[in-house]
Structure 1
Amino acid sequence: MNELEAIIIKAIVELLELPNQNGLAPETRLQDLGIDSGLMLELFLLVEESVPSLDIDPAQLLPEHFTSVESLASFVGRSVQAQAVV
């Protein structure tokens, strides 16, 4: 598990008020956790707070970015790298 995946898992635990992160892994599907579109936006805001170099317009968020912990981490990683180049 990479650093971004750990940040996202921590945000999921906080968002869903889970007792721990047991059972959460990079391949965990967010819909399987009951995260709907409203919660996905809240999750992204929590992740954005934890990754200071991340600044994304919510209009750029697409459903495929939120299929799993891993897909969200990949999107965040690409976005951070793109902003570093600018």
Structure 2
Amino acid sequence: MPFTVAASGSRLVPGASPRVALIRLGATTHGNDMDQRYVWLTVSGTAPSGDGLTITAVPPANPAAAPPGGYQLVVVDDLDSPSPGQMVRITG
């Protein structure tokens, strides 16, 4: 199910091509992180909003790509600069 993200920044303006990603929180044991994931989401549209953009993102069709749990959601601008991460929880 698509969802919207409000993002602002000097390079997040109409005409920009932002990307949205989910970064899975780690599950480290014995020095190994067995649950690393960096999942790019499909951006289906953007619209001007205040001093930034409203971005419509689509999660992966296969729920195994981003299983339930905690993630950081980041928006990456046209120069590959990520936003600060926003904590989100995916439920099953």
Query: What's the TM-score once normalised by structure 2's chain length?
Result: 0.27
Query: What's the TM-score once normalised by structure 1's chain length?
Result: 0.28
Q: Between Structure 1 and Structure 2, which shows a larger proportion of helix residues?
A: 1
Q: Between Structure 1 and Structure 2, which shows a larger proportion of strand residues?
A: 2
